[in-house]
Chain A
């Protein structure tokens, strides 16, 4: 009896310790999600809220721009994440076992764009790319090319945004990979070298499998980050030309803050939440299983 009481008291202490964090979690994560789901079923005016059932979702699925935003978002996620992981693996596996100062230099150079605000980066790019008075179009004119407007062209606008986002994103992944690769026990490489393994074998058969948890982590955070891609779109293209670069987050933003369609914006939010959940659950499961 006494033992059980003591155990209960110990449990209580434990719960009290997690209570502050749990309350914050409920207040700032769970409540907004529930409120978002609720709002997605309402039409919200300044003065009142009217229950409309699934009307907002029906409106969404009738809007071709919304489908365009889904397709664009998926393209961004696939290309940016593949580029980021591929390039970061390449750079990290090339330098991780070199001189420490050299490694620091490489790490630093790739990390600078990560430290610079995305807003600043986007503005610099927009100065460069502006068709009327930007540097790139100026040089194109000087070299007698016709007018270059990479952001005003449906076929080039997506690659440009992918490149800009990739360039600002990749530093983080390189840092994580280098840290993980430095942590791989040296004796494994030495043993493999004694067995006559080439550099290629070392990288593909030892290094990459051993940094798999890092790869999964980078995949998850990048997928989630790119799903929310917004700043570049807002500052560089405004979703244009003719909605060619509109993304789900930008579509949500427009509905919420420009058109004041809070219900529709919440519905987009719910759909994004479900997509993110579906994408991350298998990966998270894989990560935990490995451990």
Chain B
């Protein structure tokens, strides 16, 4: 009896202990440094995340070009010349619509990426939340001179710079000039290297002609214009449309002021073009990705685009992935006749991971690829923020001049308000309500403004930038 019980007791104790042991030994592998390399320098591994921007190191035509090619190449170059540590960079591409989910999970779990390369407007919230470290110490006078002040403004929150600008992405409309010709709109087609500006009445004339005169045999089921509101992706263009009739959107104090006659008029205009069949059907459950795919497959004549999407679309056409057509750019029209022009600065931020070594390497790496004379040329895939790069490449890329001409019409997309990520989640349900006829445009605009200002107010209270 006793003999039997002893092994049983031992077995039970071993099982219990092994569980405890498993719980205790979990964090020996984490942390930034993993020993010392052969050259005597300490190994430091950092992670870099990015959302899809351009493919290839410099160009999508390179063999095996992918979204992470540039940063892999940059990391290689960085490691070769870096003398403080043996730096290793793990590059990961994450989907734009998953960004906030992934970041929030990792921030709360204490494992944020060290660097994130993304449009600044989508990341401003993290600066307000105190999750980013200021980059003032890696920005020198040479960089401040080469990159115009308005780009520095958009990456500065309070007194600190939180993002190192790399390129910028002006948002415009794209149109299929072949479809315009087929609908008899030759006179309204802009030049190949022009960003065409139409008046509101010209734009409505275009929509009408595309709806009625487009040959059904050549373009079956094609619609004039892209309209979407499934989620927050591509909402920048929706925000631009809401400014079409002169609404300012934000006041000087960073509150939403959409609920006035002009704001309501813009919302009514969106409802009108949707109800009258000038857009793709089902805008309430179509995403911007769907809209872009329909445009590339010539099911839509006008869609949204930005510099990098435009270049990607051209690359897809040249490689035979998408049907070829005459793709051109136009501005979002407005009632005043001036184009509605916006851009988003794309750049890098460093997360406050609490690990000093990792943050040091991350900052050094950001500085390296944001200043290296060869690497910064990759910004040609959107539009360079550096005047030196823009002027060097302007002959090869005539569109740079067209984008530059637009810059005096730029409006500040986000108003740099805190809580912008949550604010983005409020707009599309209201747009859906307009499209399905559940709310009048006036009601939707009113609800958006009151809910939005509530979010901004709450976020202001907890913003570390405002607290200072």
Contact = CB atoms under 8 A, between A and B. Distances in A.
A211 B5 CA distance: 42
A237 B101 contact: no
Interface stretch (A16-24, A76-84, A184-192): A16-24
Interface in B84-120: 100-101, 104-105, 107-108
Interface stretch (A215-223, A250-258, A274-282): A250-258
Contacts of B290: 130, 132-133
A153 B281 contact: no
Nearest to B439: A242
Nearest to A19: B16
B285 A24 contact: no
Nearest to B220: A141
A152 B284 CA distance: 6
B108 A262 contact: yes
Chain B interface bracket (under 10, 10 to 19, 20 to 34, 35 or more): 35 or more
Contacts of A137: 281-282
Nearest to A16: B12
A24 B286 contact: no
Given A47-B130, A241-B285, A154 B438 contact: yes
Most B Cβ at <10 Å: residue of A12, A17, A241: A241
A151 B425 CA distance: 19
A46 B131 contact: yes
Given A13-B9, A137-B282, A260-B129, A20 B101 contact: no
B422 interface: yes
Given A43-B462, A130-B285, A257-B104, A243 B429 contact: yes
Contacts of B130: 45-47
Interface in A142-165: 147, 149, 151-154
Given A45-B462, A240-B230, A147 B281 contact: yes
Contacts of B126: 46
Chain A interface bracket (under 10, 10 to 19, 20 to 34, 35 or more): 35 or more
A36 to B, nearest CB: 13
B9 A16 contact: yes
Nearest to B287: A238
Nearest to A149: B282
B230 A238 contact: yes
Given A152-B284, A242-B433, A256 B9 contact: no
A152 B16 contact: no
B464 interface: yes
Most B Cβ at <10 Å: residue of A10, A17, A44, A259: A259
A153 B285 CA distance: 9
A161 to B, nearest CB: 13
B425 A131 contact: no
Contacts of B370: none
A212 interface: no
A199 interface: no
B294 interface: yes
Interface in A71-92: none
B294 A133 contact: yes
A260 B282 contact: no
Contact of A240 (B101, B107, B285): B285
A72 B100 CA distance: 26
Nearest to B223: A132
B433 A152 contact: no
Interface in B5-60: 5, 8-9, 12-13, 15-16, 18-20, 23
Given A13-B12, A133-B299, A258-B101, A149 B221 contact: no
Most B Cβ at <10 Å: residue of A9, A20, A133, A260: A260
18 contacts: A13-B12, A16-B9, A17-B8, A46-B107, A132-B294, A133-B290, A133-B293, A141-B221, A147-B282, A152-B282, A152-B284, A237-B285, A240-B432, A241-B436, A243-B429, A257-B105, A259-B421, A260-B107
Interface of B: 5, 8-9, 12-13, 15-16, 18-20, 23, 100-101, 104-105, 107-108, 126, 129-131, 221, 230-231, 280-282, 284-286, 290-291, 293-294, 299, 421-422, 425, 428-430, 432-433, 435-436, 438-439, 462, 464
Interface of A: 9-10, 12-13, 16-17, 19-20, 23-24, 27, 43-47, 130-133, 137, 141, 147, 149, 151-154, 237-243, 254, 256-260, 262
Given A256-B104, A258-B421, 8 more contacts: A13-B12, A17-B15, A46-B131, A131-B285, A152-B284, A154-B438, A240-B432, A242-B433
Closest CB pairs A-B (n = 10): A131-B282, A16-B12, A242-B433, A147-B281, A149-B282, A241-B432, A257-B101, A152-B285, A152-B284, A19-B16
